[in-house]
């Protein structure tokens, strides 16, 4: 393996700015006849840019003034695809499609107007994409094919679409769709149509998921034209394939082979020839990578990495965006015969390896179940340090045992960290994921509180110095924990939900029915909402709270955060609010990210100093 030099930075000087700078990441990766391409995000300028690697040489293709990012469904994904002689990408500012060659020329607009595009796929000289149209009354989605000066609607009528894919000979088109109130991780359908002799497409046929509570994602054709898909009908997202007698499960580990599809364009598996497939999957939260053969045997390519995403391959190498407990995200190439790993981009260590806190698997009892997560010891040698509990957003999402500079920022300052995959998180099967149905604000909060007593019982932390933080849905869990339990000394809500009932009225289409699934019907179950609304129970919060909010947030609108902040201040509770004019849901500007991280640390430090 090619090692990246370790930074000479001393651990006690790991600043918020350095933690943010180390948070560079990669969004997507694709391989084609002209080499390897990936989309990289740099916090320093907040832009996403396409990089091209070919025969050991790397160059940036995206010129200044452009950023490659989709906002379809607000969370985006699938923002670029490769063409025969270049690529097509979604520009973040105007959400239009642009075509770009490999000669360094300026991108040329392929579309104009107010529509958004995502999950782009190149086929037959056109871009197949999910299209999003906003009108004063509604938001509509459809599948379209865009050419130079042409636009063809391929599918419409469903509420949501994802993963358009074409067979290699161009004769079959498949995609995923679903309707409200379902979410893509609860129930979806796999559709397929045939190319007719006159070039038109036949009426679409539902291949799987019709009338079933089954989540399907990432349909793929192999070279012979057979269709495959990930399905959770047997409890985990695993590969299934079509046969003459219907669908059959391929040999697989009983584990999720993908996370919840919050974003478009995921690629966690690929069918190969002769019934083999390349895939990554989760075991106790750790990701594995391998090629599975028809007889069930496995060729393991995991090595020392603990998370793999955005898989692709050519005749000689496997490619992925990979991370580990000691290495931040990197673009890697693995030789298919020798298993030799080459790091093509990223992966630079932000700290000396001996100063990095390593994740320890958490599996602990909570309520009537078992919860999961990862524990990171403090790095100052304190036997019973203060604890920060990290609550991920989603909430049907997950955290992973990889090097997160934000977590290292806390462990360098003498805090232990518990990064939780509370019940309802993905990566542990459908039943675990469904545990949050109707119980948001209960089981997640229960798991957040239970981890404190669990770690304290093992002498790993001081339970009197426990803090809780979370973004988005994690902010809601944080505020519920502070309002309904006396466990934490203080908390931080980053663009968090304080009024779920208001969220049902103000949020976007993709999550328009999510609250019905998480809590209940806003009319019939209004009392349940009231019982789980932190804003209505602000009087029960007796500890300090700090808030961070983007003014352009379309998911959790700023008024929610201001209402909660004002409610606490009126009662004399120490509360701070930091609002960022140009941020949306999830901060991207380096200065704002660093400011939020440092202000949160100062806030906790002041709380501890007043003990």
Largest CA distance in the chain: 78
Residues of the chain with pLDDT under 50: 1-11
What is the reported pLDDT for 325? 95
What is residue 225's predicted lDDT score, i.e. its pLDDT?
93
* Other beta carbons less than 10 A from residue 197's beta carbon: 5
State residue 12's pLDDT score: 53
Tokens (6 digits) for 189 = 């359908």
What's residue 7's pLDDT? 34
Domain ranges of the chain: 360-585
The pLDDT, as a whole number, for residue 503 is 84
Alpha helices in 471-587, H assignment, sequence order: 473-484, 500-506, 514-518, 526-531, 558-570
What kind of fold does domain 360-585 have according to CATH?
Rossmann fold (3.40.50)
Cβ pair 37, 80 in contact under 8 A: yes
**Cross-sheet strand order for the sheet of 86-90:** 80-82, 86-90, 97-101, 108-109
- Specify the residue for token string 């959400």: 95
Q: What is the pLDDT of residue 46?
A: 83
What is the structure's pLDDT at 610?
84
The pLDDT value given to residue 611: 66
| CA atoms of 435 and 366, how far apart (whole Å) | 12
pLDDT at 44: 80
CA atoms of 495 and 328, how far apart (whole Å): 25
Q: Which residues pair with 545 in a beta bridge?
A: 491, 575
Nearest 5°: the CA angle 227, 89, 333 is 65
- Contact by Cβ (8 Å): 287, 262: no
Which of 222, 72, 39, 71 minimizes the C-alpha distance to 143?
72
Tell me the two tokens of residue 454.
Answer: 């669990």
Percentage of the chain beyond pLDDT 90 is 88
């Amino acid at each position: 393996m090619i090692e990246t030099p370790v930074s000479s930075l001393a651990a006690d000087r790991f600043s918020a700015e350095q933690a943010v700078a180390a948070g560079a990441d990669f969004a997507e990766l694709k391989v084609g006849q002209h080499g390897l391409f990936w989309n990289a995000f740099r916090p320093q300028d907040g832009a996403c840019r396409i990089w091209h690697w070919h025969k050991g040489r790397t160059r940036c293709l995206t010129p200044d003034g452009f950023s490659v990012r989709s906002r379809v469904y607000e969370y985006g994904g699938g923002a670029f695809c490769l063409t025969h002689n270049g690529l097509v990408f979604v520009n973040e500012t105007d959400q239009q499609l642009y075509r770009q060659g490999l000669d360094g020329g300026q991108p040329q607009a392929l579309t104009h107007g107010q529509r958004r595009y995502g999950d782009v796929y190149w086929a037959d000289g056109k871009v197949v994409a999910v299209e999003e149209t906003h009108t004063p009354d509604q938001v509509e989605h459809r599948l379209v094919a865009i050419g130079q000066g042409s636009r063809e609607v391929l599918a419409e009528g469903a509420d949501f679409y994802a993963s358009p894919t074409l067979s290699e000979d161009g004769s079959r088109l498949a995609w995923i769709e679903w309707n409200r109130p379902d979410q893509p991780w609860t129930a979806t359908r796999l559709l397929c149509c045939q190319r007719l002799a006159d070039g038109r497409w036949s009426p679409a046929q539902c291949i799987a998921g019709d009338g079933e509570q089954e989540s399907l994602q990432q349909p793929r054709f192999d070279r012979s034209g057979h269709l495959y898909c990930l399905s959770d009908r047997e409890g985990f997202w695993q590969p299934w394939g079509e046969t003459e007698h219907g669908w059959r499960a391929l040999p697989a580990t009983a584990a999720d082979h993908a996370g919840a599809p919050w974003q478009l364009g995921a690629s966690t598996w690929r069918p190969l020839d002769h019934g083999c497939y390349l895939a990554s999957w989760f075991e106790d939260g750790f990701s594995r990578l391998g090629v599975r053969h028809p007889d069930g045997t496995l060729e393991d390519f995991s090595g020392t990495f603990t998370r793999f995403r955005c898989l692709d391959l050519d005749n000689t190498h496997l490619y992925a965006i990979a991370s580990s407990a000691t290495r931040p995200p990197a673009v890697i190439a693995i030789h298919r015969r020798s298993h030799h790993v080459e790091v093509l981009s990223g992966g630079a260590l932000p700290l000396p390896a001996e100063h990095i806190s390593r994740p320890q698997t958490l599996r602990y009892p909570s309520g009537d179940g078992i919860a999961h997560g990862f524990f990171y010891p403090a790095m100052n040698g304190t036997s019973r340090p203060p604890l920060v509990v990290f609550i991920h957003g989603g909430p049907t999402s997950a955290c992973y045992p990889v090097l997160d500079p934000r977590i290292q920022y806390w462990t360098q300052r003498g805090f232990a960290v518990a990064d939780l995959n509370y019940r309802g998180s993905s990566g542990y099967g459908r039943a675990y994921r469904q545990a949050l149905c109707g119980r948001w604000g209960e089981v997640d909060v229960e798991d957040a509180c239970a981890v404190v007593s669990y770690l304290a019982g093992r002498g790993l932390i001081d339970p009197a110095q426990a803090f809780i933080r979370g973004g988005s849905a994690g902010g809601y869990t944080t505020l519920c924990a502070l309002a309904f339990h006396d466990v934490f000394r203080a908390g931080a809500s980053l663009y968090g939900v304080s009024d779920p009932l208001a969220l049902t009225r103000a949020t976007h289409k993709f999550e328009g029915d999510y609250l019905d699934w998480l809590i209940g019907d806003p009319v019939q179950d209004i009392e349940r909402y009231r019982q789980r609304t932190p804003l209505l129970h602000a009087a029960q919060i007796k500890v300090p709270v700090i808030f961070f909010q983007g003014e352009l947030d379309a998911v959790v609108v700023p008024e929610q955060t201001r209402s909660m902040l004002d409610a606490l201040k009126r009662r004399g509770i120490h509360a701070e609010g930091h609002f960022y004019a140009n941020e949306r849901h999830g901060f991207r500007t380096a200065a704002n990210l660093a400011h939020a991280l440092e202000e949160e640390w100062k806030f906790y430090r002041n709380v501890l100093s007043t003990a």
